[in-house]
Structure 1
Amino acid sequence: MTADWKAASASFVLRHHDAAGQIATHLRHLISSGVWQPGERLPSEAELAAGFSVARGTVREALKNLSAAGMVRSVRGNTGGTFVSLPTVARLTETLSESIRMRQASGPITVSEIDEARLHLERSCVALAADRRTDEDLERMRECIDRSRDLSISKAERLELDTMFHSAVATAARNEILDIAMTAVHIARGFADSTLTEAAFEPEHRLHAIDQHMAILEAIENRAPASAIKALDDHVKFMHSLRIEESPEDA
């Protein structure tokens, strides 16, 4: 299929500004549309440079862009070259969460919007998890809960275990897109948790939140989607009550 890349690029018009970025975007489009499959080798830098009528250095910069995004990998040697990579769930999650964090930090996205997205995504996750969970999924959730009950752990460890628990729920839903989106939102929420009041980390409130995690787990274990959604809603409402209210400018 590699030979089709020139035909697929027939309508591509390269502008003078940021040629490497434009080529990277176009190559990304060709990869995502199936011109090259995961594991296939891309044309050489020289061939790509000739095809786009640019210097090899421009193509090299474009390929570095794709490599940073996890879409290609470089292999040295006689049988080496640049090969298409299938982005991992971890890479996609990281990229999405970083984008959400950047927009939240700069203002377009508020903490309330992140929480709203989290609630609607996770309602779907807990309902599906109640139907599709495995014993291994339940064990992952239970381990997070058990570790969280140790009141001597730091605030950072507590928040990390919270993310791990909800990530385990998302994984149990057996829907990769929901898993990526849900985990990314939870990671982004971790950076937004400066809005939690100190009361959220007091033993009484910490243990109550952990008990709510257990209620979610038990509903999923009992394959009761409606109960799982209800337990999640109770948990989100409780955690929201422990947040600092956003100012009108932030909302």
Structure 2
Amino acid sequence: MKIDPNSPADLSAQIAKAIRDAIVSGELIVDARLPSEAELAEQFDVSRPTVREALKRLAAQSLIRTQRGASGGAFVNRLSFQDAYPQQITTSTLLLSMNAVSFETACEARYALERACAPLSARRRTPDHLATMRAEIHRQGQPGLSDESFCDSDVAFHRALVDGAGNPVLSYQLAGAVEAMQPLMNMITFTARSRAEIIALHTRIADALDARDAAVCDATLQALAAYTQELAETVFREREAGKT
């Protein structure tokens, strides 16, 4: 593991990258103990505070864990897909907000990705996935449910659909699509949407997955995408009219 002391990049960031690359390449395996701070400082020819900052960066990414005691130290962590969800969601949210992605583009991407899960979910969904979807549909129909709670339920419903595909890689990739894009889209459309219409579409999706009918599930997701886009267009027209 090496760094370039003449590089303008932060030294702690370079050390963190060097260790991360060693983990990715298999040079450092899961549960392997990293050299001590003093050993790393000597290896990279930096101060111990610089090494400590690099280790903090790696811990923040759940790539290492620290243990106290005589047999303690820093160890390579086994990163799970679930551990990586928050980072994926945060990154997706930042990308959408910082790059002014249009609603149409976000909606297109979000439903194209989810529709890819429909055939798999129709084959692999479990009773627990269906129970979650039915519970969220019931929750969405409760009188007095706040817009924020309805949005949370909406996300949970689609999360169950995606997880029903039984593919952790897809679940990870779609964490950003569902849990970042969906709330942002709801923020725009909540004033125009009909909860009854959304509940009806959600019910059709759950019924299709219950019957293992991928075609109906896909067609209903297309209808939901079209309805969402229609809502956004209505909101944008009303905003423009309010400016004139």
Aligned residue for 1:198? 191
Contact 2:85 2:172 in 1 (8 A): yes
TM-score by length of 2: 0.89
Aligned pairs, how many?
234
Cα distance change, pair 132–210 in 1 and its aligned pair in 2 (3 A):
same
Quote the RMSD (CA, aligned, Å): 1.9
1:169 Cα deviation from its structure 2 partner = 0.8
* Separation of aligned partners in 1, 2:185 and 2:113: 18
Counterpart of 1:239, as a letter, is T
Aligned residue for 1:208? 197
1:177 to 143, 165, 169: 169
Write the deviation string for residues 83-122 of structure 1: whole angstroms up to 9, x where unpaired: 1122233332211111121122222533333222211210
1:15 to 6, 25, 46: 6
Structure 2 residue runs of 5 or longer lacking an equivalent are 240-244
Contact 2:81 2:169 in 1 (8 A): no
Q: Does 1:226 align with 2:215?
A: yes
1:174 Cα deviation from its structure 2 partner = 0.9
Counterpart of 2:87, as a letter, is T
Counterpart of 2:90, as a letter, is E
Aligned residue for 2:65? 73
Aligned residue for 1:6? none
Instruction: Give the percent of matched residue pairs that are identical in Structure 1 and Structure 2.
Output: 31
Aligned residue for 1:239? 228
* Separation of aligned partners in 2, 1:185 and 1:46: 42
Structure 1 residue runs of 5 or longer lacking an equivalent are 1-8
TM-score by length of 1: 0.87
Cα distance change, pair 151–116 in 1 and its aligned pair in 2 (3 A):
same
* Separation of aligned partners in 2, 1:165 and 1:186: 10
* Separation of aligned partners in 1, 2:6 and 2:124: 49
2:25 to 33, 41, 49: 33
Stretch moving more, 101-110 or 52-61: 101-110
Aligned residue for 1:143? 135
* Separation of aligned partners in 2, 1:219 and 1:242: 24
Counterpart of 1:84, as a letter, is V
What secondary structure sits across from 2:109 in the alignment?
helix
Aligned residue for 2:242? none
